[in-house]
Amino acid sequence: MQVDELLKPFPIKEFHPFPRALMGPGSHELIGPEALKLGFKKTLIMTSGLRGTDIVNKISESMKYHGIDTVIYDKVESNPKDYNSMDAVALYQQNNCDSFVSIGGGSSHDACKGARVSVAHDGRNVNEFEGFNKSENPANPPHIAVSTTAGTGSETSWAYVITDTTTDPDNPHKYVAFDDASVTTLAIDDPVLYYDCPIDYTAQCGFDVLAHASEPYVSRLNFQPSLGNALHAIKLTSQHLRAAVWNGQDLPGREGMMYAQYIAAQAFNSGGLGIIHSISHAVSAFYDTHHGLNNAIALPRVWAFNMPVAYERFADIAEAMGIDTKGMTKPQAADAALAASIRLLRDVGIPEKFVDVKQDTYSKNRLGQGPTKFYENSGTIVGDAADVDRITNHVLGDACTPGNPKECTFETVRPVVDHSINGDLDDLLS
């Protein structure tokens, strides 16, 4: 997909809608009254289960206290699969539900958004809605999204990401659907719910925020209403991610990341993304690795790739990251931003290349545990020439790629993918 194909029919850039939101400590406790106001009577709660916490039970009981029946689907997987959405649709229809609540991170919200679109189309398969505004019925069931991580932005945006398990097992496919009809009815972001996030998961989600913020800031869409939010989200992430990771009970750190992730999503919602996300989608399609982890590993490589066409924007990013750029040229300041991103990645303990990701690398690891025979043979990231080629080809077909500021071809993107898998970050600093 070339950028011209995406942009030529739309010379007028579109500002996509946001949902109403409740933000701040204790906001999740308002879900019962808010659901009543929205007319909820019987709600399907979609979640990953959030094992080890009482969050799902607490929210379900709050809704029951307000007279709302609940049915729970708690089998959403990381990198949500098409069957997660479709199993939820079947449960929704069997129980005559009238509304949705998603609890968790992007996986829960994305699977729920896909299920809503399917319900609105009499249960058609969620994979039919890949692409841009493919749904035909805007009257989706109402949806409250309660975030328990600071990373996703899915509770805010018009995008959802699904892994299609019906494709060739040797060439799995993860796609982005952009659909105004999928926007949630109400977003609830409560930093108190982030306290239970594991250290490594907090770090990885934080780099999802940095990717969400930096990509629209340098995007060739150059959507002016997104730029301020993008830059401020970068600043907030630089200020608060370390504290949120290493002192999970630090309310200012958690609250700072809550706002960072929310306004970063507002930025990319209309400002677009790029190949940080395309690489992340491709790697998780083949290996089921965590989206935020993938973004973190790809981000410095993609920044270095894009700098020659966006030095001034990366110089702005350096300032947002707290670097004194006085006396620096724009390329020097851009290089300082790249160095700051690598320092942040190292400070929060994220693996530096994909071949470093092992079975016991992080708490949300799913290497070799995916739903098909393909994933059973993917317990180790290979990184050979064939692996680099297939991931590169997936990147070139991703819906985020056209927004990348530097034109992407197989020949230009393959080295970026190869370095993300096998290369040393210090190479970028030399």
pLDDT by residue (tens digit) across 346-355? 999 999 999 9
For residues 247 and 148, state if they share a domain.
no
Domain-ending residue, one of 127, 161, 194: 194
When computed from its CA atoms, the radius of gyration of the chain, rounded to whole angstroms, is 20
Q: Are residues 174 and 228 in the same domain?
A: no
Residues 362-413: tens digit of each pLDDT: 777 777 776 666 677 677 898 999 999 999 999 999 999 999 999 999 999 9
Same domain, 185 and 203: no
Residue 373 is assigned to a structural domain of this protein: yes
Whole-number mean pLDDT of the chain?
93
Q: Examine the domain organization and report whether 179 and 228 are in the same domain.
A: no
Q: Which domain holds residue 280?
A: 197-429
Same domain, 66 and 168: yes
HSE (side-chain half, CA atoms, 13 Å) at 157 = 28
At 62, which CATH number?
3.40.50.1970
Quick one: 134 and 259 in the same domain?
no
Q: How many angstroms separate the CA atoms of 96 and 41, rounded?
A: 10
- Which residues fall within 8 angstroms of residue 392, CB to CB, at 6 or more apart? 282, 410, 413, 414, 417
Residues 220 and 364 in one domain: yes
Give yes or no: residues 48 and 120 share one domain: yes
Domain termination residue (choose one: 149, 167, 194): 194
Instruction: Give, as one character, the DSSP assignment of residue 140.
Output: P
**Single pTM value for the model:** 0.95
Q: For the chain, what is the domain count?
A: 2
pLDDT band at 94 (very low <50, low <70, confident <90, very high): very high
pLDDT digits (tens, 9 = 90+) for 177-230: 999 999 999 999 999 999 999 999 999 999 999 999 999 999 999 999 999 999
Question: Do 54 and 185 fall within a single domain?
Answer: yes
CA 309 to mean position of chain CA atoms: 25
More confident residue, 250 or 8: 250
Residue 371 lies in a domain: yes
Would you give the distance in Å from CA 171 to the centre of its chain? 22
Task: Give the CATH number, domain containing residue 214.
Answer: 1.20.1090.10
Burial class (CB within 10 angstroms; exposed 0-12, middle 13-18, buried 19+) of 210 = buried
Note whether residue 1 is domain-resident.
Answer: no
Asked if 189 and 211 sit in the same domain, the reply is no
- Which amino acid does the sequence have at 205? C
